[in-house]
Amino acid sequence: MGFNSPLGKARRIVGGRSWAVGKKSARHAALCYLLSVFLFSFPAVGGGSQAGQGHLPVLKDDLDRDSLHRAIHRSLEFLQRLPPERPVGEWPRRITGDEIKRTLLLFMERLELLGKPDALLSFTRARFDLFRSDGEGGDGNVLFTGYYQPVISASLVETEEFRFPIYGRPKDLVELEVPTSAPESQVEKLVGRMDGERFAPYFSRYEIDGLGHIKGRGYEVAWAKDPLDLFFLHIQGSGLLRLPDGRLLPLNYAGSNGRPYTSIGRLLVESGKVARNQLTMQRLRRYLQDHPDERDALLARNESYVFFRFGNDGPLGSLEVPLTPGRSIATDSRIFPKGGLAFVISQRPVLSARGEIVRWRPFSRFVLNQDTGSAIQGPGRVDLYFGSGSEAGLAAGAMRRPGKLYFFLPKQAPRR
């Protein structure tokens, strides 16, 4: 659930302000100013601990071997594009792409052990170090939510029936990469636009959908039939468009306005309009449908806005490789190693024919860290990709359970 747009990538923007800069080098001046503002402002990454021999989980995997093999190859595809020493994570220490690549190749050598938990545990003990995320509270509990690829009715031409624009990436969207020094040297992405001589935040959801600031400028790639379908497409970050002639077109993430993400579900809970224990994506949708007079104002509270592009493969995560249902996860990209091999333990919903939760079923499996999202922040959050379509959407919308998150790294040679 989570309503967290894991496929929406940009995370941070300086809200509500713009800065005067010189005429000759506006972007350079904006970058220098932002650097002075942000250099020491980012929090340290979350902690974790190495799992001791007596605390290693039982490595029982509830999915098929082929899906794991496919997901590993997609992480390797991403890593092949990077220089070997490029940092891909900051936890439990600075991790390079080469370390993650070696982890995956070594694990693939013994993939036939997947159905033999004891033998697999012996192998991993000998060849890997296993690190457990401490979670938000330091107790090792991580909140698991879910996301999926929605299918929505849309048209490639605007009509009276299809009149809600789906925007591609605007040409005036500017992304700046600002180096920081906390906790170590990193690069932070800032998103905005040049407003004459000023670098300013990009338009908010209200300014785009309510005021039409980019309407009619040629950025529309399609038009949706239902504004709520479009909103949840933004939340998920990718989807399939079902055209009037029955064709399905994959739509992938192309960028974000960089504005902060606000959970509409959380706002409804805090205002007492929806009980916390009843909050699912389906419950949120039903509330918005039943209260059309509140809808637009509520949606505008989430300033984050996602832009799309058509693609042949999909959905693509933040690593620009296709996601694998049940095997791909989204985490905080500032912390956990991109493309890394992890093991998760949690519970997933078992639903009735009406989409109601009947019970929770324990599961554990190997997963690949292949995505991120604007609401997936800190060491205590994991978003699990459930796949495409309505069934995946029901399960993803209901998913909200605690669990454990472990990452594998090759053993380091002892220091002399």
pLDDT, tens digit, for every residue of 106-155? 999 999 999 898 999 999 999 999 999 999 888 899 999 999 999 999 99
Report the range of poorest mean pLDDT among 33-42, 223-232, 253-262: 33-42
CA distance 399 to 386: 10
Please report which helix (H) or strand (E) contains residue 145, including its range.
strand 142-149
Please report which helix (H) or strand (E) contains residue 264, including its range.
helix 264-270
DSSP string across 302-349: ----EEEEE-SS--B-TTSSB--TTTEEE--TTTSPTT-EEEEEEEEE
3-state secondary structure 90-121: CCCCCEEHHHHHHHHHHHHCCHHHHHCHHHHH
* pTM (predicted TM-score): 0.79
Over residues 356-382, mean pLDDT: 93
State the DSSP code for 42: S
- By DSSP bridging, strand 381-388 and strand 142-149 are parallel
pLDDT of residue 15: 31
- By DSSP bridging, strand 357-371 and strand 328-330 are parallel
- By DSSP bridging, strand 48-50 and strand 128-133 are antiparallel
- What is the chain's Cα-based Rg? 22
Calculate the average pLDDT of the chain.
86
Query: Residue 182: exposed, middle, or buried by beta-carbon count in 10 A (0-12, 13-18, 19+)?
Result: middle
Strand residues in 243-299 grouped as ranges (E):
248-256
Residue 403 phi, psi (nearest 5): -170, -170
pLDDT of residue 178: 76
What homologous superfamily is domain 19-148+169-203+319-410 in, according to CATH?
RlpA-like domain (2.40.40.10)
pLDDT top residue among 321 and 22: 321
369 neighbors 340 (Cβ within 8 angstroms)? yes
Residue in the block written with tokens 């918005």: 288
pLDDT, tens digit, for every residue of 263-292? 999 999 999 999 988 888 889 999 999 999
Strand partners, 306: 256
Q: How many CB atoms lie within 10 A of CB 414?
A: 5
The confidence band for 415, taking pLDDT boundaries of 50, 70 and 90, is low
pLDDT, tens digit, for every residue of 331-352? 999 899 999 999 999 999 999 8
3-state secondary structure 155-192: ECCCCCCCCEEEECCCCCCEEEEEEECCCCCEEEEEEE
18 neighbors 197 (Cβ within 8 angstroms)? no
pLDDT of residue 353: 84
User: How many helices (H) and strands (E) are present in the chain, helices listed first?
Assistant: 10, 20
Where on the phi/psi map is residue 342: left (φ > 0), alpha (ψ -120 to 50), or beta? beta
Strand partners, 347: 362
pLDDT, tens digit, for every residue of 151-193? 999 999 999 999 999 999 999 999 987 776 655 556 677 899 9
Give me the percent of the chain exceeding a pLDDT of 70. Answer: 84
pLDDT, tens digit, for every residue of 189-222? 789 999 988 999 999 999 999 999 999 999 999 9
pLDDT of residue 313: 75
Residue in the block written with tokens 């993939």: 111
pLDDT of residue 197: 87
pLDDT of residue 4: 41
CA distance 203 to 287: 27
Token pair belonging to 267: 């706002």
pLDDT, tens digit, for every residue of 10-45? 322 223 333 333 334 444 444 444 444 333 333 344
